[in-house]
């Protein structure tokens, strides 16, 4: 599947498909260095959840290898998780401000009546 994703990523435009193909290949290969490079790519595209996922996958590989760099990867994962959480909260707050009720609270669901 990772190979097919790589083939498909060459046929579409944009920077995300090739990055996703790299992520799939690195995951299958268990290549922690490539996974961290992919995480950097996701972070550069302002995709902190994907970056955290790639970092977590790399961290699993580093722990399996008992690598010294696992500690740094763990700290990086914590920072990405905080960033992803803040990003998600900002989106929800922005949504709440512009909700149809006008009072800063989300409408009740299901609507009454």
Total tally of structural domains belonging to the chain: 1
Domain contains 109 = no
Domain contains 112 = no
Domain contains 21 = yes
Domain contains 108 = no
31-to-19, 21, 36, 38, 61 alpha-carbon distances in Å: 15, 14, 9, 11, 7
Find the domain containing 7 and state its range.
2-97
Structure tokens given for 103:
């009072």
Domain contains 107 = no
Per-residue pLDDT of 69-88, as tens digits, reads 677 777 878 888 888 777 55
- pTM for the structure as a whole: 0.60
Per-residue pLDDT of 22-37, as tens digits, reads 999 999 999 989 999 9
Whether the predicted pLDDT of 64 surpasses 70: yes
- Rounded distance between C-alpha atoms, residue 10 and residue 65, angstroms: 32
Whether the predicted pLDDT of 15 surpasses 70: yes
Domain contains 17 = yes
Domain contains 30 = yes
Full DSSP string of 62-102 = HHHHT-TTHHHHHHHHHHHHHHHHHHHHHHHHHHHHT-TTS
Domain contains 43 = yes
């Amino acid at each position: 599947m990772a190979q097919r994703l790589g083939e498909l990523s060459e046929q579409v435009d944009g920077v995300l498909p090739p990055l996703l193909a790299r992520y799939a290949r690195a995951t299958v290969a268990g290549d922690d260095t490539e996974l961290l490079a992919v995480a950097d790519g996701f972070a550069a595209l302002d995709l902190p959840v994907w970056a955290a996922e790639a970092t977590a996958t790399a961290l699993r590989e580093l722990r399996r290898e008992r690598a010294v760099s696992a500690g740094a990867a763990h700290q990086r994962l914590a920072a990405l998780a905080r960033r992803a959480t803040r990003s998600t909260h900002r989106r929800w707050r922005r949504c709440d401000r512009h909700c149809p009720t006008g009072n800063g609270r989300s409408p009740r669901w299901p609507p009454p009546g």
